């Protein structure tokens, strides 16, 4: 069982043999977020093999260039869409989320005390449960 799929050929095919061109894009974030003083990132959610996957997209300007270059993050992560049932800290982004806000989170970040599942993949032997409850960390 896996929660990630790595690239075989970046931007083209994955290690499971699937092609990005065959994945169905169901959501595209419209915000570019500045990262590490070198590039910006956004993401899209795709449906593939009965699951929902997040792919990061990066853009950056190479030294001496006057146009953006684009690429992808290192792998895709299996996701579930949730809605917050009360104001709470996101288990995914650590941002403060208001009641009713929706967010795509990793399948293992689900916390039934603060959210309900809106969209999840299929349960099967290849990937296991569509989501699992987050393991609570004890902070010192």
The string of pLDDT tens digits covering residues 112-135 is 999 999 999 999 888 888 999 887
The string of pLDDT tens digits covering residues 78-89 is 999 999 999 999
Contact 83, 101 (CB under 8 A): yes
**Reduced to 3 states, what is the DSSP secondary structure of residue 82?**
strand
Question: Distance (Å, rounded) from C-alpha 81 to C-alpha 131?
Answer: 10
pLDDT, residue 110, reads 96
pLDDT, residue 125, reads 87
The string of pLDDT tens digits covering residues 48-67 is 999 999 999 999 999 999 99
Strand spans (E) along 1-140: 4-9, 13-14, 24-28, 33-35, 39-48, 51-60, 69-72, 75-84, 88-89, 96-97, 102-106, 115-119
pLDDT, residue 137, reads 55
Give Cα separations from 79 to 34, 67, 138 (angstroms). Answer: 22, 32, 24
The string of pLDDT tens digits covering residues 10-42 is 999 999 999 999 999 999 999 999 987 889 999
Using 50, 70 and 90 to split pLDDT, how confident is the model at 138?
A: very low
DSSP 111: -
Residue 139 pLDDT more than 60?
no
């Amino acid at each position: 069982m896996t929660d990630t799929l790595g690239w075989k050929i970046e931007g083209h095919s994955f290690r499971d043999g699937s092609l990005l061109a065959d994945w169905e894009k169901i959501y595209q974030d419209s915000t570019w977020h500045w990262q590490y003083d070198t590039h910006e990132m956004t993401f899209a959610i795709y449906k593939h093999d009965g699951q929902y996957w997040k792919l990061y997209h990066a853009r950056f300007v190479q030294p001496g260039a006057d146009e953006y270059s684009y690429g992808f993050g290192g792998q895709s992560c299996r996701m579930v869409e949730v809605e917050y049932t009360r104001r709470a800290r996101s288990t995914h982004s650590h941002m403060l989320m208001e009641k009713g806000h929706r967010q795509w989170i990793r399948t293992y970040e689900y916390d039934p005390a603060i959210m309900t599942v809106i969209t999840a993949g299929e349960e099967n032997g290849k990937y296991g449960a569509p989501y699992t409850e987050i393991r609570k960390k004890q902070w010192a």
